[in-house]
Structure 1
């Protein structure tokens, strides 16, 4: 079987532009809503939202590849690089590296994509790794670059990338294509099509020993940002991680040929879902600010600690709601004090209550704030 890069039409991707038209229009419309939502916030709220979305993206783009990072360390590193107050913690290399790439994407989205850009990103995403030989440069080993699964004695090859000796030529072609398809390039493409193709094109080449998926998603984000003329702040990796199996299935289906309509429709839907998630997160963070404006001075130390933990759980909150047992653990307090604290929070309107007895659960009342 031939892979996409082995076929005579590589890399002349084909797709049905009409099938993407409605998605492209919706992307631009939702981008306008996102930009407007952030534009009317004060600097503190805008920074909080930017850091929260970048933190989520840093964590999830790593989690997609099986790497679990510490949220507080990533966020501390992002705040430090943006010149904001931090908790002065010591940040491990992996967390620092992915945070640096997020900041580079945020600040330099309009810059051309070059070999040096990609080499810098690669050094960031594999920061602290001792098992990679070619760091900050394209792979040059003789062994085939394969994506495999299953037991060692009977592996399943999901994809095999072009040989290492072709990397210079393949990547020169990719970078020329990315420049030519930019909004100000010789043959500009619509935003979703360009971002989706850039992601697929890059991972098909698979130019690095490791980190290709994270860099491919960064390239897609850069393409989206260039389309709208500012950082996109879409939760792309958060949505991909939520449906990780479907993501890998779509990539595997797409690497068999260069007709890419199915892949681009899949990718467009992911981006639109990511925009919806970002809009919901912005609403959540605005509601959080209003919540604290109303209740901050009315919470005791235990209540403040539990409320902060509930907000830390983000949009999804505690699975099934906060229980009295959760409260006792977080606040390190007795059952009697827990009962009194929770009753006060419900009475003041900070929490809502559902269920009875052992099934009683509590949720933040932020929609009504």
Structure 2
């Protein structure tokens, strides 16, 4: 039977029936209750049978993705992870109407901190997500660490009148509006740090299932709205951090694009969760977010399966190419790596140094090989500084990448 919201119970059977159902749910052994008020009521979540099944399906799909991922060569996996990062960053920006291009994000991911020259747009944001994808960015353990994350995520993207005016968080009240309608009234300034600590506790403690804690803490952070702007991007990064502690980094990196496709559904889930008649019940919100995560995993699995089939075909084409000398064998390996980049990295190009790292020969030798392949019309230069390469249309046809 479908889970009935307290709001639906109120409209169907009246206030007394809704109050009785509320009390029954709070008293249930299957209910998690948190020290975090939504309106006048403590936030809670009922661990329904549907929710348990959704979590099980998430773990099953996660294992399928991991099994497929383990079959992908290193070059292809690096390229695909780069693709996921670009899509995730582009989507989390787009949800908040922050316009960014894939090239901007790709350049930011490739940029190194401290290198001379102009700092790339989104460089700090890209650094955070890259560290997260590689498993080297731990969950924050203090309000100050959340502020550090926020500063990196919105670096250079916040208007002067939306800059944070407090040591850690905003010092004025704020609200979210849609036209003339107030959609959300942020919590009072004096409650922000206390409530942020409640979010941190939920992120770190193990008294709630990890996926439930991830989704519930995401609602709580957005409900607090500790900054004037950039709350959504910061909250989704924290969500990805918690998800990565429970499922694979791939799943954690796949959610924002689906949220971006389903923005109305995403925002409606927040609106319903904080409706006064629902009395702090986060069960439908957590359920809805788990459904979005499953959709993201399903899309990624189908995408990986399709690319894997093309990779197998690429491998067969490479094996059929002439290889009567060490030079020809090396040329085929270069084409094979460029083919993997073309298949798994949406930018479809690789810089000369990265390509050379796959070979024991010197960079000068690989540079000469690339020149020969370029003369044969199989390789094209994409950029000069740094020098990056991609397969030509002719090569893609010969290798079966395009028909």
- Is the Cα–Cα contact under 8 Å of residues 78 and 103 in structure 1 kept in the other structure? yes
Where does residue 33 of structure 1 map in the other structure?
A: 64
Where does residue 92 of structure 1 map in the other structure?
A: 120
Residue of structure 2 aligned with 1:7, choices 31, 39, 45 = 39
Separation of aligned partners in 1, 2:247 and 2:298: 16
TM-score, L = length of structure 2: 0.65
- Is the Cα–Cα contact under 8 Å of residues 55 and 71 in structure 1 kept in the other structure? yes
Where does residue 58 of structure 1 map in the other structure?
A: 89
Where does residue 147 of structure 1 map in the other structure?
A: 176
Q: Could you tell me how far 1:6 is from its partner in structure 2?
A: 5.2
Separation of aligned partners in 1, 2:77 and 2:393: 31
Residue of structure 1 aligned with 2:236, choices 181, 198, 217 = 217
- Is the Cα–Cα contact under 8 Å of residues 14 and 261 in structure 1 kept in the other structure? yes
- Is the Cα–Cα contact under 8 Å of residues 119 and 137 in structure 1 kept in the other structure? no
TM-score, L = length of structure 1: 0.70
Asked whether 1:199 is paired with 2:218, we answer yes
1:41–1:135 distance in 2 versus 1, CA, 3 Å: farther
SS of corresponding position for 2:245: helix
Where does residue 125 of structure 1 map in the other structure?
A: 153
Spell out structure 1 runs of 4+ moving beyond 4 A: 88-91, 109-112, 287-298, 307-314, 341-346, 348-351
Residue of structure 1 aligned with 2:130, choices 100, 103, 108 = 103
- Is the Cα–Cα contact under 8 Å of residues 178 and 198 in structure 1 kept in the other structure? yes
Residue of structure 2 aligned with 1:75, choices 82, 87, 106 = 106
SS of corresponding position for 1:167: helix
Where does residue 157 of structure 1 map in the other structure?
A: 182
Separation of aligned partners in 2, 1:284 and 1:137: 49
Tell me, which stretches of 5 or more residues in structure 2 are unaligned? 1-35, 323-337, 349-391
1:105–1:313 distance in 2 versus 1, CA, 3 Å: closer
Separation of aligned partners in 1, 2:231 and 2:167: 12
**After superposition, where does 1:1-369 map in structure 2 within 5 Å?**
5=37, 7-10=39-42, 12-80=43-111, 92-93=120-121, 95-106=122-133, 107-129=135-157, 130-131=159-160, 132-134=162-164, 138-142=168-172, 144-150=173-179, 155-180=180-205, 185=206, 187=207, 189-228=208-247, 232-256=251-275, 257-287=279-309, 289-290=311-312, 293=315, 312=346, 350=400, 364=402
1:289–1:90 distance in 2 versus 1, CA, 3 Å: farther
Tell me, which stretches of 5 or more residues in structure 1 are unaligned? 83-87, 299-303, 315-340, 352-363
Q: Could you tell me how far 1:290 is from its partner in structure 2?
A: 4.7
Separation of aligned partners in 1, 2:395 and 2:80: 30
Q: Could you tell me how far 1:295 is from its partner in structure 2?
A: 6.5
- Is the Cα–Cα contact under 8 Å of residues 88 and 257 in structure 2 kept in the other structure? yes
Q: Could you tell me how far 1:233 is from its partner in structure 2?
A: 4.2
SS of corresponding position for 2:147: helix
Q: Deviations over 1:34-70 (max 9, x none)?
A: 2222223222112111111111000000000001112
- Is the Cα–Cα contact under 8 Å of residues 317 and 400 in structure 2 kept in the other structure? yes
Out of 14-23 and 266-275, give the one that drifted further.
Answer: 14-23
Which is richer in strand?
2
- Is the Cα–Cα contact under 8 Å of residues 124 and 155 in structure 2 kept in the other structure? yes
Larger Rg: 2
Q: Deviations over 1:253-277 (max 9, x none)?
A: 1122311221112111100011112
- Is the Cα–Cα contact under 8 Å of residues 83 and 346 in structure 2 kept in the other structure? no
- Is the Cα–Cα contact under 8 Å of residues 139 and 238 in structure 2 kept in the other structure? no
Separation of aligned partners in 1, 2:244 and 2:399: 40
SS of corresponding position for 1:159: strand
SS of corresponding position for 1:228: coil
Separation of aligned partners in 1, 2:235 and 2:139: 16
1:290–1:248 distance in 2 versus 1, CA, 3 Å: same
Separation of aligned partners in 2, 1:206 and 1:91: 29
Q: Could you tell me how far 1:91 is from its partner in structure 2?
A: 5.8
1:157–1:34 distance in 2 versus 1, CA, 3 Å: same
1:113–1:41 distance in 2 versus 1, CA, 3 Å: farther
